[in-house]
């Protein structure tokens, strides 16, 4: 009951904030509509391949907005305002509040996932070669890795300004250069080699392989990268987290 | 005994801001902790609550450790921090609902809102409240779990005279029902209005403690204000 009520209130607060609705839900759906329209056009010679490649990329936009932007900003905000400190002197743990917040961000991301998927399926007749169940599992795995990075940013930044700076850097960096919006394939090879170091580049690579029914050997490196994100961020977050 | 603290010290690096302080509090008693900014009041309160690293022989709130038994302890202890902030888009009623579900049993918050004169503000955003209203909300939340002991850090800083008097009256009613209170304050009138005992801190030490009459007597002055000024000054020069 405690967790349910806390989550409900956090959901109302996030909803009133509008940024998650705009950047996490509406923006990815608009990108999906645009990409579907542009890439399904016969003027685009490689249109169909790019269209197939774009779905696993566009579904990650909401992961970035919620996990790498929304989550660290809220953690830093709640610490800065001493809200976590107030929770420390109650029978509940401040961690319960942060979990409720993370759940709300996760639900927003899943709503966006459903919206983008519906656009691809019903507006542009997208067909996935690989298994959708496996794709969903991979999506959740990538989400976990990105949320870990977001939680790490929220854990180590000294104040809200820093959260904003590092959150924006991670968000825009990966939004633009990991293939989430601008198709990775159109970057020059040399830049591709550089951008491959962005964690989400590997995440999107994994999702692409799974959606195209690729072989496991091509997915090993992305899987290891995602696991490294979870473990390294998790370890550093626990080590450096401050309640106040 | 609702609170017992034995030889508690708080240090930041080399600097000791609270030095081996001991005190205790009986049921229904109100203790005022006085001292200038930086005297160690807030550090002391936070260390007693277990949220600031400290060394001590004993800290027992309602007979239990606030660190090892924090869940049980904080069911019956309310805290109002110096400044209480809330999320930007949170309404008064949401702040109350959120606080209510953290405890096993609470007073109905609508009843408390009326008691604290906030009944018309239920749907307002907390950030739209005036300073006095915000402070009343913070005290209300501290009293929500029907606590046996509350900590009030700078209760009426920033409040106007009328609002302060009203808040004191409300707290005196709670006291009559058996509530124990630890409060920190800069205001002598507040301490005289509420406290049974005072403890004056300077540089992390207790320089004087006792009932208000005892403190005045000890200083050889005519009022608590004069006593406070004399006592804190003497120590500074000595």
Check if the beta carbon of residue A36 is closer than 8 Å to that of residue A123.
yes
What's the alpha-carbon Rg for chain B, to the nearest Å? 18
Angstrom distances, CA of residue B44 to CA of A190, B13, B175, B182: 59, 16, 23, 11
How would you label B202-228 residue by residue, b for 16+ Cβ within 10 Å and e otherwise? bbbbbbbbeebeebbeebebeebeebb
Over residues B213-227, the pLDDT tens digits come to 999 999 889 999 999
Q: Which of A9, A89, A244 sits opposite B74 (nearest CB)?
A: A89
Over residues B94-106, the pLDDT tens digits come to 999 999 999 999 9
pLDDT at A41: 65
Q: How confident is the model at residue B47 (pLDDT cuts 50, 70, 90)?
A: very high
Nearest CA in chain B to A77: B87
> Mean pLDDT in chain B?
92
What sign has the CA pseudo-torsion A101, A102, A108, A114? negative
Phi, psi of B159 (to 5 degrees): -100, 150
Is B146 an 8 Å CB contact of chain A? Answer: no
> CB distance A17–B88 less than 8 Å?
yes
Nearest CA in chain A to B145: A90
Please state, for a pLDDT cut of 90, what percent of chain B lies above it: 76
β-strand partners of B4: B24, B60
Helix, coil or strand: residue A130: coil
Sequence-distant (≥ 6) Cβ neighbours of residue B97 within 8 angstroms: A5, A9, B109
Please report the number of interchain residue pairs, chain A to chain B, with beta-carbon separation below 8 angstroms. Answer: 62
pLDDT at A45: 59
Q: Which of A5, A83, A86 sits opposite B97 (nearest CB)?
A: A5
> CB distance A13–B89 less than 8 Å?
yes
Region class of A131: left (phi > 0), else alpha (psi between -120 and 50), else beta: beta
In this structure, what token pair is assigned to residue A27? 């923006």
Q: How far apart are CA A114 and CA A129, in angstroms?
A: 18
pLDDT at A43: 58
Q: Which class for A171: exposed (0-12), middle (13-18), buried (19 or more C-beta within 10 A)?
A: buried
Bridge-based pairing state of the strands B205-211 and B197-202 = antiparallel
Q: How far apart are CA B121 and CA B114, in angstroms?
A: 10
Q: Name the helix (H) or strand (E) containing B61.
A: strand B58-61
Angstrom distances, CA of residue A196 to CA of A157, A201, A231: 25, 5, 20
Nearest CA in chain A to B100: A2
Q: How confident is the model at residue B156 (pLDDT cuts 50, 70, 90)?
A: confident
Over residues B165-189, the pLDDT tens digits come to 988 999 999 999 999 999 998 889 9
d(CA A191, nearest CA chain B) in Å = 41
Is B27 an 8 Å CB contact of chain A? Answer: no
Residue B238 pLDDT > 50 = no
Is B98 an 8 Å CB contact of chain A? Answer: yes
> CB distance A91–B90 less than 8 Å?
no
pLDDT at A47: 56
In this structure, what token pair is assigned to residue A222? 């992305």
User: What is the residue-level pLDDT of chain A in tens, covering all 244 positions?
Assistant: 899 999 999 999 999 999 999 999 999 999 999 998 888 766 555 657 888 889 999 999 999 999 999 999 999 999 999 999 999 999 998 999 999 999 999 999 999 999 999 999 999 989 999 999 999 999 999 999 999 999 999 999 988 899 999 999 999 999 999 999 999 988 999 999 999 999 999 999 999 999 999 888 889 999 999 999 999 999 999 999 888 7
Running DSSP on this structure, what letter comes out for residue B159? -
Residue B92 pLDDT > 50 = yes
Q: Name the helix (H) or strand (E) containing B84.
A: none
A contacts of B104 (beta carbons < 8 Å): 91
In this structure, what token pair is assigned to residue B68? 């090892």
A contacts of B86 (beta carbons < 8 Å): 81, 83
SS3 content of chain A, % helix, strand, coil (to 5): 80, 0, 20
CB atoms under 10 Å from CB of B49, counted, come to 23
Q: Which class for B175: exposed (0-12), middle (13-18), buried (19 or more C-beta within 10 A)?
A: middle
Residue B157 pLDDT > 90 = no
> CB distance B102–A89 less than 8 Å?
no
> CB distance A83–B90 less than 8 Å?
no
> CB distance A13–B87 less than 8 Å?
yes
């Amino acid at each position: 009951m405690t967790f349910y009520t806390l989550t409900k209130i956090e959901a109302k607060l996030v909803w009133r904030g509008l940024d998650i609705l705009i950047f996490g839900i509406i923006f990815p759906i608009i990108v999906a509509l645009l990409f579907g329209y542009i890439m399904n056009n016969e003027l685009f010679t490689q249109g169909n391949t790019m269209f197939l490649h774009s779905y696993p990329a566009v579904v990650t936009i909401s992961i970035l907005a919620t996990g790498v932007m929304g989550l660290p900003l809220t953690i830093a905000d709640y610490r800065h305002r001493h809200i976590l400190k107030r929770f420390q002197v109650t029978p509940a743990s401040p961690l319960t509040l942060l979990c409720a917040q993370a759940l709300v961000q996760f639900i927003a991301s899943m709503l966006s996932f459903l919206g983008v998927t519906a656009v691809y399926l019903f507006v542009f007749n997208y067909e996935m070669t690989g298994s959708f169940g496996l794709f969903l599992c991979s999506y959740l795995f990538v989400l976990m890795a990105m949320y870990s990075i977001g939680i790490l940013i929220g854990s180590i930044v000294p104040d809200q300004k820093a959260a904003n700076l590092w959150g924006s850097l991670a968000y825009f960096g990966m939004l633009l250069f990991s293939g989430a919006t601008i198709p990775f394939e159109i970057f020059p090879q040399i830049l591709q080699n550089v951008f491959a170091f962005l964690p989400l580049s590997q995440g999107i690579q994994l999702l692409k392989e799974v959606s195209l029914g690729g072989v496991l050997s091509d997915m090993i490196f992305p899987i290891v990268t995602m696991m490294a994100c979870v473990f390294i961020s998790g370890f550093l977050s626990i080590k450096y987290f401050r309640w106040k | 005994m609702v609170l017992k603290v034995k030889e508690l010290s708080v240090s930041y690096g080399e600097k000791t801001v609270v030095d081996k302080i001991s005190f205790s509090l009986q049921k229904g008693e109100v203790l005022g902790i006085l001292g200038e900014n930086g005297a160690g009041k807030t550090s002391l309160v936070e260390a007693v609550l277990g949220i600031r690293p400290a060394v001590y022989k004993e800290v027992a709130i309602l007979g239990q450790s606030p660190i090892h038994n924090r869940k049980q302890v904080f069911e019956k202890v309310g805290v109002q921090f110096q400044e209480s902030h809330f999320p930007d888009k949170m309404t008064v009623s949401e702040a109350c609902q959120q606080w209510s579900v953290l405890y096993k049993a609470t007073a109905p918050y609508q009843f408390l809102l009326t008691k604290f004169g906030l009944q018309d503000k239920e749907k307002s955003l907390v950030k739209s409240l005036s300073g006095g209203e915000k402070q009343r909300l913070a005290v209300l939340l501290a009293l929500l779990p029907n606590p046996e002991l509350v900590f009030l850090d700078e209760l009426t800083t920033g409040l106007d005279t009328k609002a302060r008097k009203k808040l004191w009256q409300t707290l005196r009613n709670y006291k009559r029902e058996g509530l124990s209170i630890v409060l920190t304050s800069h205001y002598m009138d507040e301490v005289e209005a509420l406290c049974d005992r005072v403890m004056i801190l300077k540089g992390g030490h207790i320089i004087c403690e006792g009932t208000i009459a005892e403190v005045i007597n000890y200083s050889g002055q005519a009022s608590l204000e004069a006593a406070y000024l004399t006592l804190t000054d003497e120590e500074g020069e000595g």
